Structure 1
């Protein structure tokens, strides 16, 4: 007799888990700098259009389809046709690869948490010069193939703790693990980020930062690349097309309000984007005004969280204990954001595997976590953290996810039937979606994703051609750690597709 499928015990638990999955470390820096470099306030118009024309319809599609088939990505594509099952495996390969390097970044936030406590009690003093700690953690390497540069003992040690947290939560399942943790973590994350935003607005120079973020440059709004960037930001920040939301949808009760839940998930994530943008640029405005640095002095990536914020915190108060506790709260906030996303990634692959292979959840989670941890160890090397991480991230994010989103939309809409999705979604929803939903998913979303894929590939080939002439080592790094990882994902997907069911 087939085991009855576990379900979310409450709507709030599901919503908090979904929001936690969508909101991650990337929101803190990716959205603010996408807006900053793409026309400031002018970026918000295509961003909002992308929310309503792409993110919300796709979220409705994934929740609805997941609930209808009661399965993850593997079952989702296999239901359309057995020959498409491998695409489902390719989809859930994405969160596994992302988890490998994502957990090393989460571990940095844990390290900064510990050092913040040390700062509070006078054991260490790093708030005024966090770059020194970051240098100790990340080390240095000459290139992606400089394996003799060594491994970061800090990253290696703390990445173990992050993976233990992932395993403990996901092994317990949906209701006892992910739902229970998300009900605590996600509200805490929202409250803490809101508090940091309010505090950042009172800083001297905050208005200068907000002016940089929100002042519209309408000369850029007709540039197609701005629209591609806006859709890419919305698409990737909502964790669509990687099996997470289909998996979460598969545990929904039959009478769930899917349209309302989709709206809440997408808009909560968008709100977090804006809160992060205000917080980051208010803080940078303060640093520009009081320290004479530039808005891009800390880069547009992890430097914002791990370099700029400790400096800003150290200038809020001269009380060392308060500095340390504020730092601890901020990096605990980052840890929560990262962990809530990482458990959703692990669950995406777990759900898919359980749908095909009749093995205990605990065993599946343990096997995947061991493989994932070994991958994280590779990224904990100095060459891995400083070079390979960026290469893998850009290739998986720019080429695999957008392509899978395009394939998913076309197959579900044209083969399974978009009208079936719309009827199912409306059945128990208070807000109903009309025929415009079909139009958006059949035409607008595939066209935008198609343009995104072609645009990204065009830029990649141009980049590779230049590297082949100017920097052969960098070219080989792109081919092996970028396209090589994509090939490995494809081969693993085919292997699991051909492997017989238990």
Structure 2
């Protein structure tokens, strides 16, 4: 639609974080999520152990931090959520912003379900309700998982009350916090949850280190396999881990940076957030593998012989089995699942803030209207798709395509368009250096223009080929087309449709500050 069809209604005064500490804690709260606890330790173990830390650190310095700072620069300079900020970079880029919003919405719909699982298991920790057969309890008693592809259909509306009830609680709490706003809602939750998370998980790590067999677990994790350094897949795994754990390239950090004051330091907090996130991942790895060493010791096997060393199986099958064999295991379990709830919840808030802010800006909704309308729709979809007996299979499939195709594709387009098509990298570097205490040099531009697109494109092509040729988890091809590629198609359709809709608030009356090269 043309700008002539836009109204010139005055938007609400833009919200802001109360200060740098509030921004840093909120950004760390977004970055530190479920993947830090259940993904990094297993990925490191499977990709060279201690040697994996070398490509991991290189990936952090050459992709993670540069793209994180690019998100900061775009959001802070153009003062908007992803659609508005990208539109102000170049009008036709608005669609990329809505593509990121669609990714965030879909991720939020299933991410809340995992938090609900963790909330259930937090309660179950006090009486060790999962018993001796933790795998049977998780997939059978708790999820009541259907035999999809076998005797049962791929999709049902058979709701699981044990998932449905905590899921509703998660959504109610999320809507309330989002409606409270950036400073009074998001920031306050992170002020409470981030120190609590560090305390809870720190207690868990210390306890794990003093368990019999802990040293065996740490040796398994950190003993370096230097031969793995020559495997390209190890490097792809390192870049993937950094990329997914920092909350970059799908609108979150653009939106968060837009809530900072005009004269706000960007680079120093960026380094703090990046290294805090990676530090927590290594810290989590120590705790998880010390505990796994104890489990292996109790079972009389090597750590390598344990099953379920990453992902939901690690969290909801392996760890409950470990907790059952520990002295005072209920407390250990409560600390672990409580940490999952807090880490997941702060990330969920950041994901939904992207969606809420975008709709507020385009359609003139108030904060409360956006929070309730978006939250209710997301909650209904969350319940219908993922709190049923087929929810786990749907969640697993959607997550693969949203993360490995949607987010990586978004990052490729962002770096290529900003770096190559529009040649705006130097403007973004100028902005970072104008407001920050730590300047970034031309190394940053090189990472954005050359290294980032090459690495990210390699990741994207590799994953597309794998999914097309090999499928995923043996699921039916038609199901992957609907729940996998269909979700990516949904992102594209949403981007086109939302871009074409009329702005209720004038988006283009804006001058970027500080001016660059005599023009904004």
| Shared fold per TM-score greater than 0.5 | yes
Of residues 118, 129, 139, the one that matches 2:144 is: 139
Of residues 60, 69, 76, the one that matches 2:78 is: 69
Q: CA deviation at 1:230?
A: 0.6
Instruction: Assess, with a 3 A threshold, how the Cα gap between structure 1 residues 250 and 38 changes in structure 2: closer, same or farther.
Output: same
Listed as ranges, the matches of 1:149-164 within 5 Å are: 150-164=158-172
Write the deviation string for residues 425-465 of structure 1: whole angstroms up to 9, x where unpaired: 1223222111211111111111111111111112122114x
Of residues 195, 202, 205, the one that matches 2:203 is: 195
Matched, 1:247 2:255: yes
Write the deviation string for residues 378-405 of structure 1: whole angstroms up to 9, x where unpaired: 11111122x1111111111111111100
Matched, 1:456 2:463: yes
Match of 2:323 in 1: 313
Match of 2:453 in 1: 446
Write the deviation string for residues 303-329 of structure 1: whole angstroms up to 9, x where unpaired: 222233333334332xxxx54343323
Q: CA deviation at 1:206?
A: 1.1
Q: CA deviation at 1:136?
A: 1.7
Q: CA deviation at 1:277?
A: 0.9
Higher mean C-alpha deviation, range 72-81 or range 397-406? 72-81
Match of 1:185 in 2: 193
Higher mean C-alpha deviation, range 185-194 or range 324-333? 324-333
Match of 2:308 in 1: 298
**Partner secondary structure for residue 147 of structure 1:** coil
Q: In 1, Cα distance between the equivalents of 2:199 and 2:412?
A: 35
CA RMSD of aligned residues (A): 1.9
Write the deviation string for residues 110-146 of structure 1: whole angstroms up to 9, x where unpaired: 11122234x2xxxx74465544542322112122643
Match of 2:512 in 1: none
Q: In 1, Cα distance between the equivalents of 2:129 and 2:12?
A: 54
Relative to the length of structure 2, the TM-score reads 0.90
Asked if 1 retains the 8 angstrom alpha-carbon contact of 2:398 and 2:484, the reply is yes
**Partner secondary structure for residue 273 of structure 2:** helix
Asked if 2 retains the 8 angstrom alpha-carbon contact of 1:210 and 1:285, the reply is yes
Q: In 1, Cα distance between the equivalents of 2:211 and 2:424?
A: 53
Q: In 2, Cα distance between the equivalents of 1:131 and 1:272?
A: 28
Unaligned stretches of 5+ in structure 2?
1-9, 505-520
**Partner secondary structure for residue 249 of structure 2:** coil
Match of 1:367 in 2: 373
Listed as ranges, the matches of 1:90-169 within 5 Å are: 90-117=99-126, 119=127, 125-126=129-130, 130-134=134-138, 135-143=140-148, 145-148=153-156, 150-169=158-177
Of residues 210, 213, 218, the one that matches 2:221 is: 213
Q: In 1, Cα distance between the equivalents of 2:32 and 2:156?
A: 36
Asked if 2 retains the 8 angstrom alpha-carbon contact of 1:33 and 1:300, the reply is yes
Q: In 1, Cα distance between the equivalents of 2:462 and 2:218?
A: 30
Q: In 2, Cα distance between the equivalents of 1:112 and 1:27?
A: 19
Higher mean C-alpha deviation, range 101-110 or range 300-309? 300-309
Asked if 2 retains the 8 angstrom alpha-carbon contact of 1:140 and 1:149, the reply is no
Of residues 341, 356, 360, the one that matches 1:354 is: 360
Q: In 2, Cα distance between the equivalents of 1:261 and 1:362?
A: 29
Asked if 2 retains the 8 angstrom alpha-carbon contact of 1:16 and 1:187, the reply is no
Aligned residues between the structures: 487
Q: In 2, Cα distance between the equivalents of 1:212 and 1:159?
A: 36
Write the deviation string for residues 274-309 of structure 1: whole angstroms up to 9, x where unpaired: 011111111111111111355442352212222333
Q: CA deviation at 1:211?
A: 1.3
Write the deviation string for residues 133-188 of structure 1: whole angstroms up to 9, x where unpaired: 42322112122643358221111111000001110111111011001111111111
Q: In 1, Cα distance between the equivalents of 2:202 and 2:333?
A: 15
Q: CA deviation at 1:492?
A: 1.8
Match of 1:434 in 2: 441
Q: In 2, Cα distance between the equivalents of 1:422 and 1:496?
A: 30
Instruction: Assess, with a 3 A threshold, how the Cα gap between structure 1 residues 125 and 367 changes in structure 2: closer, same or farther.
Output: closer
Asked if 1 retains the 8 angstrom alpha-carbon contact of 2:112 and 2:171, the reply is yes
Instruction: Assess, with a 3 A threshold, how the Cα gap between structure 1 residues 42 and 490 changes in structure 2: closer, same or farther.
Output: same
Higher mean C-alpha deviation, range 284-293 or range 476-485? 284-293
User: Larger % of helix: which?
Assistant: 1
Write the deviation string for residues 18-66 of structure 1: whole angstroms up to 9, x where unpaired: 0000011121121111111111112111100000111111111111211
**Partner secondary structure for residue 347 of structure 2:** helix
Q: In 2, Cα distance between the equivalents of 1:125 and 1:5?
A: 47
Of residues 36, 46, 49, the one that matches 2:55 is: 46
Write the deviation string for residues 226-254 of structure 1: whole angstroms up to 9, x where unpaired: 11111011001101011000000000112
Q: CA deviation at 1:88?
A: 0.7
Q: In 1, Cα distance between the equivalents of 2:208 and 2:363?
A: 50
Asked if 2 retains the 8 angstrom alpha-carbon contact of 1:80 and 1:411, the reply is no
**Partner secondary structure for residue 263 of structure 2:** coil
Higher mean C-alpha deviation, range 292-301 or range 424-433? 292-301
Relative to the length of structure 1, the TM-score reads 0.93
Of residues 216, 224, 234, the one that matches 1:226 is: 234
Match of 1:477 in 2: 479
Q: CA deviation at 1:189?
A: 0.8
Higher mean C-alpha deviation, range 354-363 or range 167-176? 354-363
Q: In 2, Cα distance between the equivalents of 1:407 and 1:382?
A: 37
Matched, 1:287 2:295: yes
